Amino acid sequence: MSTENNQEYPLQFLKGIGPKRAQVLARYGIETLYDLLNYFPRKYIDRRHIVPLDALHPEEEVTVIGKIEAAGVRRTRRNLFYITISDGKGILEAVWFHSLSYFKKLFNIGEWVSLSGKVKFYRGYQMVHPQYDRLGEGEIDNFFNTGKILPFYSENENFKKAGLNSFTFRKIFFHISFSELDEIREFFPDYLIIKRNLINRQEAYMQIHNPQDPEQLDKAVYRFKYEDFFYLQIMLALQRMHAKSQPLGTTFNKKSRRLEQFYRTLPFELTEAQKKVMREIRQDMRQSAPMNRLLQGDVGSGKTLIAVMAMLIAIDNGYQAALMVPTEILAEQHFYTVKTFLANLDINVNLLTGSIKGEQRRFLMHEIQSIEPQIIIGTHALIQESVDFKSLGLVIIDEQHRFGVMQRGLLMEKGIHADVLVMTATPIPRTLAMTAYGSLDVSVIDELPANRKPITTVWRFDNKAQEIYTFIMERINAGEQAYVVYPLVEETEKLDVKAATEGFEFLSTGPFRQLKVGLLHGRMRNEEKEQVMRAFLKNEIQILVATTVIEVGVDVSNVTIMLIEHAERFGLSQLHQLRGRVGRSHKKSYCILKTPYNIGDIAQKRMRIMTESQDGFIIAEKDLDLRGWGDFFGTKQSGMPEFRIANPIKDREILEQARQDAFELVQQDPYLRSEHHLRLNNIIRTQLKDRMELINIS
């Protein structure tokens, strides 16, 4: 390998790979040797200790060695292949329920094998589908499934088909000479290596794939966790450093007359948290450095109002303000709300979404391209299309978690140096917010308006449907309204719509035939959607059957019941968002999670968490726990960092270390020009270039 040791080295020529496997790996983004090295094991099992066969206990994970005394196919309810092994002290049977003929050929009586797996007791000690090694002559010192700490790699169907399993990965990594690989040479400066007691990078790669003992493995794991966090933190440190040094933004100095007027006529008092956040935003807007703030606030905490007030400041300073939301329905709703809020203030409010077409669209474009101060509300069509803003001073991005960070980049690419306020209802702990949203300043609305009553949340099985309908009838007879949400059936909107449509048919002709039932989903025409929403707002429709389109933002305060069908199919954050659609007034509200009787363990946990807590912070943390970091923040397109091994929740301490080190480093050497940062500089340019495009560190 020494002659080919560069990261472009085609994987197919590596021992154990070949063209077919290389193709499969490439499909999963593993194209270079470097990618492969960074395909880390998902777990390890310590199989250094071989247990004698007279010392077995049921349910223990162990490794044993023995000679095959008997082997064959046994005809039972399901045919199986078995071998019986003995080590002179005891015996154990191993069974396989598939590939019988394969195993029949594989194992020969008289041969030694090692088996690893969980011990069961079934008319004697047994292992089902154990890991195995056939221990031929000379192999005893060099086998892959026993006698070591064994790495296990994630597999998927396509990997399996190509024979890429943990065993093959172990073999592949066994044949790589880590010490000769240039691209995994150390890049941390010596002073950090010493400060954090890091093992060398090449050594760490070797230990992560071929661990020698638990101590070395721990060191390798620590190093890569630190490295994962460090990459991110150095990027954030650089972003922050360079953002602060470019005072390109707008200064909103003028006192906003209309803001004051608006404030005076509000029918309620702002919460203390809202006031605090408003002060922070005003402060930012007054400065010439562009505002770059994240506003976190649980569902119903009143973020829209903050958005409206911030927009008034921009307007009164002679600029345009845009509010971007993730769905058309939400855009329409915000448009309606904002217009109502501002009815007496003589402010031009415009709505621009993808489905506004033709003459109307041309007219709107013309409006927006003028420099007239105005509020523009829309979906991301606003920045994706060729809208040429002439005096955009403020951009507010609502429900950020649905957008991803990258869209911010899009704004900047368009040369928009407006102040940016990003709002999210996915509250996450502050340290994590720093990790996720990085260089943004963070404001938190940590209190709900005072008139809110807790929402009673219950979990009911499908066989209680009748009782649920009766209960809903009662509330509706008392003048209240209800949502019934049908879930994503699969990853396609079409099926989603089908479920809701069928639910609508059933409810409107069955249990609720005396009532007005409405249907709302993303595939309806705009006018239809608007009509339904209007009717629902006026209580001309009592029950709104919907897909998850109502998840974000929708605000109808007379609705007191949220019935979620197949609640087991939703994630925690989504359930919490949906629940946030009720409990928006002084009336008592209910959230009913309806599921079949048999649902998985994790789904059960989600249901329980929902019934136990209504605090978005707690729910978000539990959600993170259940789903893990990558999933929590959505797919790659969210622009969130993907860690190979680090977990910002469990490894928070390491995160803090990396953060501190990275920020100190950038403070001292903002362009990474000093000699001991050269390799680091190099690594950042090559590894992180996609994320670093906004920064020039040359």
Q: Which residues bind Mg ion (CB under 5 A)?
A: 553
Taking CB atoms, the residue at the shortest distance from Mg ion is 553
41 binds, among Mg ion, ligand ADP, none (CB under 5 to 8 A by kind): none
Would you say 210 or 274 has its CB closer to ligand ADP?
A: 274
- Report the DSSP pairing between strands 375-378 and 125-128: unpaired
175 within 8 A of 181, measured Cβ to Cβ: no
Q: What is the spatial distance between Cα 561 and Cα 582, in angstroms, rounded to a whole number? A: 6
Residues 188-247 that bind ligand ADP (CB under 6 A): none
Axis crossing angle, helix 430-437 with helix 652-668, rounded to the nearest 10: 50
Q: Which of 151, 300, 427, 583 binds ligand ADP (CB under 6 A)?
A: 300
With contacts defined by CB under 6 A, name the span among 2-10, 39-47, 197-205, 293-301 that binds ligand ADP. 293-301
Q: Which of 73, 270, 381, 695 binds ligand ADP (CB under 6 A)?
A: 270
Hey, what are 632's tokens? 């929590």
User: With binding defined as CB under 6 A, does residue 23 bind ligand ADP?
Assistant: no
Of 209, 204, 308, nearest in space to 256 by CA:
308
Across 463-484, b (16+ Cβ under 10 Å) vs e yields: eeeeebbebbbebbeeebbbbb
Tokens 């905490």, located at residue: 301
Give the chain's end-to-end CA distance (angstroms, integer).
Answer: 33
User: With binding defined as CB under 6 A, does residue 425 bind ligand ADP?
Assistant: yes
Hey, what are 40's tokens? 């880390």
99 binds, among ligand ADP, Mg ion, none (CB under 5 to 8 A by kind): none
Lateral strand order in the sheet of 517-520? 455-461, 589-595, 559-564, 481-485, 543-546, 517-520
Q: What is the spatial distance between Cα 60 and Cα 51, in angstroms, rounded to a whole number? A: 11
Q: Which of 114, 146, 233, 301 binds ligand ADP (CB under 6 A)?
A: 301
User: With binding defined as CB under 6 A, does residue 557 bind ligand ADP?
Assistant: yes
User: With binding defined as CB under 6 A, does residue 299 bind ligand ADP?
Assistant: yes
Axis crossing angle, helix 303-316 with helix 328-341, rounded to the nearest 10: 60
User: With binding defined as CB under 6 A, does residue 446 bind ligand ADP?
Assistant: no
Q: What is the spatial distance between Cα 469 and Cα 664, in angstroms, rounded to a whole number? A: 60
Closest distance of CB 541 from ligand ADP, Å:
19
User: With binding defined as CB under 6 A, does residue 625 bind ligand ADP?
Assistant: no
117 within 8 A of 92, measured Cβ to Cβ: no
User: With binding defined as CB under 6 A, does residue 274 bind ligand ADP?
Assistant: yes
498 half-sphere exposure, CB direction, 13 A CA radius? 7
R_g over Cα of the chain: 30
How many residues line the site for ligand ADP (CB under 6 A)? 20
Q: Which of 14, 17, 51, 305 binds ligand ADP (CB under 6 A)?
A: 305
Would you say 511 or 553 has its CB closer to Mg ion?
A: 553
User: With binding defined as CB under 6 A, does residue 263 bind ligand ADP?
Assistant: no
Would you say 393 or 553 has its CB closer to Mg ion?
A: 553
User: With binding defined as CB under 6 A, does residue 537 bind ligand ADP?
Assistant: no
Cβ neighbours, 10 Å, residue 43? 10
Closest distance of CB 350 from ligand ADP, Å:
20
Residues 404-423 that bind ligand ADP (CB under 6 A): none
Q: What is the spatial distance between Cα 464 and Cα 467, in angstroms, rounded to a whole number? A: 6
166 binds, among Mg ion, ligand ADP, none (CB under 5 to 8 A by kind): none
Contacts for 610 with CB less than 8 Å, ≥ 6 apart:
457, 459, 567, 572, 575, 576, 579, 591, 593, 619
Which ranges in 404-485 belong to alpha helices (H)?
Answer: 406-413, 430-437, 465-477
User: With binding defined as CB under 6 A, does residue 548 bind ligand ADP?
Assistant: no
270 binds, among Mg ion, ligand ADP, none (CB under 5 to 8 A by kind): ligand ADP
302 binds, among Mg ion, ligand ADP, none (CB under 5 to 8 A by kind): ligand ADP
Would you say 198 or 299 has its CB closer to ligand ADP?
A: 299
The alpha carbon of 563 is separated from its chain's Cα centroid by a whole number of angstroms, namely 25
Closest distance of CB 402 from ligand ADP, Å:
13
User: With binding defined as CB under 6 A, does residue 555 bind ligand ADP?
Assistant: yes
378 within 8 A of 352, measured Cβ to Cβ: yes
With contacts defined by CB under 6 A, name the span among 248-256, 295-303, 483-491, 614-622 that binds ligand ADP. 295-303
User: With binding defined as CB under 6 A, does residue 278 bind ligand ADP?
Assistant: no
With contacts defined by CB under 6 A, name the span among 56-64, 267-275, 522-530, 664-672 that binds ligand ADP. 267-275
User: With binding defined as CB under 6 A, does residue 297 bind ligand ADP?
Assistant: yes
The alpha carbon of 84 is separated from its chain's Cα centroid by a whole number of angstroms, namely 46
The 575-614 contact track toward ligand ADP, x by CB under 6 A, reads -----x---x------------------------------
Q: Which of 97, 102, 268, 506 binds ligand ADP (CB under 6 A)?
A: 268
With contacts defined by CB under 6 A, name the span among 100-108, 124-132, 183-191, 553-561 that binds ligand ADP. 553-561
Partnered with residue 115 across adjacent β-strands are 64, 132
Would you say 383 or 552 has its CB closer to ligand ADP?
A: 552
Contacts for 90 with CB less than 8 Å, ≥ 6 apart:
52, 53, 54, 55, 56, 125
Site for ligand ADP, rule CB under 6 A? 268, 270-271, 274, 297, 299-305, 425, 449, 451, 553, 555, 557, 580, 584
